[in-house]
Amino acid sequence: MLKELQEEMQMTKVEVFQMGEEKEVAEAKCKDVEQERNQLKKELEDLRAVSDAYKKQLEEL
């Protein structure tokens, strides 16, 4: 019985370790997605500024 409990504890420790690794991977992916979102947001702002400049030029013509 004691041996079974020790084996279960070891298996649980392995599962906890794996879950910790999975958490780190998920956090890294979230960070990457957040950086990409920020980059896309900046690009969109830049495109809007260019679009506004073109609209202003067209109005002047």
Residue 44 has pLDDT above 90, yes or no: yes
Residue 7 has pLDDT above 90, yes or no: yes
Per-residue burial over 14-43, b = 16 or more CB atoms within 10 Å of its CB, e = otherwise: eeeeeeeeeeeeeeeeeeeeeeeeeeeeee
Residue 6 has pLDDT above 90, yes or no: yes
| The pLDDT of residue 61 | 82
Q: Would you say how long the chain is, in residues?
A: 61
What is the three-class DSSP state of 61?
coil
